[in-house]
Structure 1
């Protein structure tokens, strides 16, 4: 990486581990139910609700409410904007990791 190049563009909205885990999970499926996401991310209902709200506010996630039988349910899905943001964020992370591996290998040669 030269001094003139820009640092990789990490997405501030996806930088938090819970947001990134949630978005990555949703990137692999069309839609997921609130409890499934909460359990996957291993967080409380409150934390999951705040995480979904934050990602919805950025336009990365859409929220759908409905009923399964008589029980209220909430589903979330990643938007196209969200899918692009996840892909770009993961590419930036890989660029950082790759640059670090290269720098480490070059330092080990000296």
Structure 2
């Protein structure tokens, strides 16, 4: 036996789905707006960074504590347990440059990186 849906029932179902989708979009938009505001105000937690980026920052903190103010990308790659080959070094350099552009670390004219100082 074939079920017969009434037009009114279909319209109610459609309106319910549209309302659900709009609610989801509004909550996503609100969460995105909050994340942007936090990032702009500097409240974004390090935990929000990719694990490799967190490791780079931790390594720079370790090097600074050991008395090395600046670190080259090659030394960072080796300290992170990567091979000292151009592909790996450039990958670390790219991530470090991105971290510097976003204000997490400092990039020096010499091409070296360091932890932010207050």
TM normalised by structure 2 equals: 0.46
Structure (1/2) with the larger strand percentage: 1
Q: Which has the higher helix share?
A: 2
Bigger radius of gyration among the two: 2
